[in-house]
């Protein structure tokens, strides 16, 4: 005969707490103070307690069948210098839309919390969030790559969107930028292009954890030497004043290497070419790595709304399972982009089969 299963009530009695407190502690819920939580979890392990999988499945089923009720408030952490800047960027607006929709479906309220508010500091922000009973945080992309917020997330379930947040080191949901670049290169090769260049701002490359340019360097390495060309990198951020200074250098690069197609994420490239009398797609094909910014171009739809949705889905699962703080092993959930034909590419010949074989 098997020994009777240790119940949650038995754990609660042994620990001298209410069943609901024991349940919260075993889910690592920060509503239970750390010392008490650790003691209850230790007792449960000592007693051999394990949740009944059938009861858990039944509970989940009942929860899904019941009308959606308010669960809790989650915070969308805006770390831009002005509140409006963090809202206005098209890609971040897409992330927020997907996150907001999923939060509502699951009974959560998603509220914006602006870290740069006058008088705010990382410690004060933490205290304010805790005082408001907020235990789940989502960090959208930061203004700069390698951002260290100095923010203690120990009491919170937390997820980051994109790779620009260096500390705290969290689970990340992001576009699969490596595959996006590789997919764009393949699609251009199918249109007959062999001489393909890339243009990018170095800050954007860092923010993507170098996922954008890595496939391009591989692509150049397997190319016939006569078709190879360097990536044209614009130092610094992708902002008008900085990018404008690169115009002459870009045109010199274009005239020297004569690409028939260019992969990039800078709207200015098309304008620079047109002012020089070079028209897309008649004279050169252009493919963007983010159609959110250039909706008429051919290129990659990064599915920003889906990324936001998946970030909230992961956050809710962490929140409900009781996982708090920086994870020992951060996850990277990558969302595939989709190639969409636009007005900036054209076929110039049969598919470059030999090249496609090399990059497959």
At 98-124, the pLDDT tens digits run 999 999 998 999 999 999 999 998 899
Which stretches does DSSP call E strand in the chain?
72-78, 108-114, 136-139, 147-148, 157-161, 165-167, 171-175, 196-201, 232-234, 261-264, 285-288, 298-301, 332-335, 338-340
- The range of the structural domain enclosing residue 129 comes to 72-169+305-336
- Do 107 and 191 sit in the same domain of this protein? no
Q: What is the CATH number of the domain that holds 57?
A: 1.10.260
Q: Whole-angstrom Cα distance, residue 163 to residue 185?
A: 23
Do 29 and 44 fall into the same domain?
Answer: yes
Same domain membership, residue 331 and residue 284: no
What does the mean pLDDT of the chain come to? 90
Same domain, 219 and 260: yes
Look at residues 98, 108, 110 and name the one whose alpha carbon lies nearest to residue 69: 108
Residues 151 and 58 in one domain: no
Q: What is the mean pLDDT of residues 264-275?
A: 94
pLDDT (mean) for 319-337: 92
Q: How confident is the model at residue 242 (pLDDT cuts 50, 70, 90)?
A: confident
Residues 124 and 51 reside in one and the same domain: no
pLDDT band at 314 (very low <50, low <70, confident <90, very high): very high
Q: What pLDDT is stored for residue 319 in this prediction?
A: 86
What is the pLDDT at residue 34? 79
Lowest mean per-residue pLDDT among 26-35, 65-74, 195-204: 65-74
For residue 328, being part of any structural domain is answered with yes
Do residue 317 and residue 349 come from a single domain?
no
pLDDT-based confidence at residue 58 (cuts at 50, 70, 90): low
User: Do 324 and 252 share a domain, yes or no?
Assistant: no
Residue that finishes a domain, picked among 65, 83, 107: 65
Domain check: are 95 and 218 in the same one? Answer: no
Q: Is the pLDDT of residue 82 over 80?
A: yes
In this structure, are 289 and 233 located in the same domain?
yes
Asked if residue 261 lies in contact with residue 285, where contact means CB atoms within 8 angstroms, the answer is: yes
Kindly indicate the confidence band of residue 57, based on its pLDDT and cuts at 50, 70 and 90.
low
Quick one: pLDDT at residue 63?
53
Distance (Å, whole) CA 274 – CA 352:
27
Better-predicted residue by pLDDT, 322 or 190: 190
Backbone angles phi, psi at 301, to 5 degrees: -85, 110
Domain count, the chain: 3
Q: Is 1 inside a domain boundary?
A: no
Length of the chain: 360
Q: Are 194 and 247 members of one domain?
A: yes
In this prediction, residues 269-293 reach a mean pLDDT of 96
pLDDT tier, 2 (very low <50, low <70, confident <90, very high otherwise) = very low
Q: Tell me, yes or no, whether 146 and 221 share the same domain.
A: no
Give the sheet arrangement for strand 171-175, strand by strand: 108-114, 72-78, 136-139, 157-161, 171-175, 332-335
Mean pLDDT for 126-149 is 94
Confidence tier at 23 by pLDDT (50, 70, 90)? confident
Per-residue pLDDT for 60 more than 60? no
**pTM, to two decimals:** 0.81
- The answer to whether residue 2 is domain-embedded is no
Dump pLDDT digits (tens) for 27-55. 777 667 778 888 888 888 888 888 766 66
Average pLDDT over residues 191-217: 95
Q: Is the pLDDT of residue 1 over 50?
A: no
Which CATH number fits the domain that encloses residue 215? Answer: 3.40.50.2300
């Amino acid at each position: 005969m098997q020994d009777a299963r240790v119940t949650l009530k038995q754990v609660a009695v042994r620990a001298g707490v209410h069943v609901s407190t024991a349940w919260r502690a075993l889910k690592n819920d920060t509503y239970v103070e750390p010392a008490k939580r650790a003691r209850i979890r230790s007792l449960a392990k000592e007693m051999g307690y394990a949740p009944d999988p059938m009861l858990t499945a039944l509970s989940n089923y009942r929860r899904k069948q019941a009308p959606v009720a308010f669960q809790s408030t989650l915070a969308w952490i805006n770390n831009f210098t002005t509140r409006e800047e963090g809202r206005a960027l098209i890609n971040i607006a897409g992330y927020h839309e997907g996150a907001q929709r999923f939060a509502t479906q699951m009974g959560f309220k998603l509220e914006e919390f602006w870290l740069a508010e006058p008088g705010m500091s990382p410690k004060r922000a933490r205290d304010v969030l805790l005082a408001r009973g907020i235990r789940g945080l989502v960090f959208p992309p930061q203004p700069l790559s390698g951002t260290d917020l100095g923010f203690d997330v120990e009491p919170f379930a937390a997820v980051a969107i994109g790779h620009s947040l260096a500390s705290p080191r969290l689970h990340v949901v992001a576009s699969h930028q490596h595959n996006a670049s590789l997919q764009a290169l393949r699609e251009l090769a199918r249109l007959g292009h062999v001489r393909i260049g890339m243009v990018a701002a170095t800050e954007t490359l860092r923010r993507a954890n170098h996922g954008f340019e890595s496939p391009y360097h591989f692509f150049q390495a397997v190319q016939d030497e006569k078709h190879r060309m360097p990536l044209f990198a614009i130092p610094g951020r992708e902002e008008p004043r900085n990018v404008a200074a690169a115009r002459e250098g870009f045109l010199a690069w274009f005239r020297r290497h004569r690409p028939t197609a260019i992969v990039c994420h800078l709207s200015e490239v098309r304008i620079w070419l047109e002012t020089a009398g070079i028209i897309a797609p008649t004279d050169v094909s252009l493919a963007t790595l983010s159609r959110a910014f250039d909706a008429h171009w051919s290129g990659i739809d990064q599915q920003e709304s889906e990324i936001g949705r998946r970030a909230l889905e992961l956050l809710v699962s962490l929140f409900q399972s009781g996982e708090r703080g920086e994870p020992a092993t951060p996850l990277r959930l990558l969302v595939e982009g989709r190639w969409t034909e636009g007005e900036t590419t054209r076929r110039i010949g049969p598919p470059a089969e030999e090249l496609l074989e090399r990059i497959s």
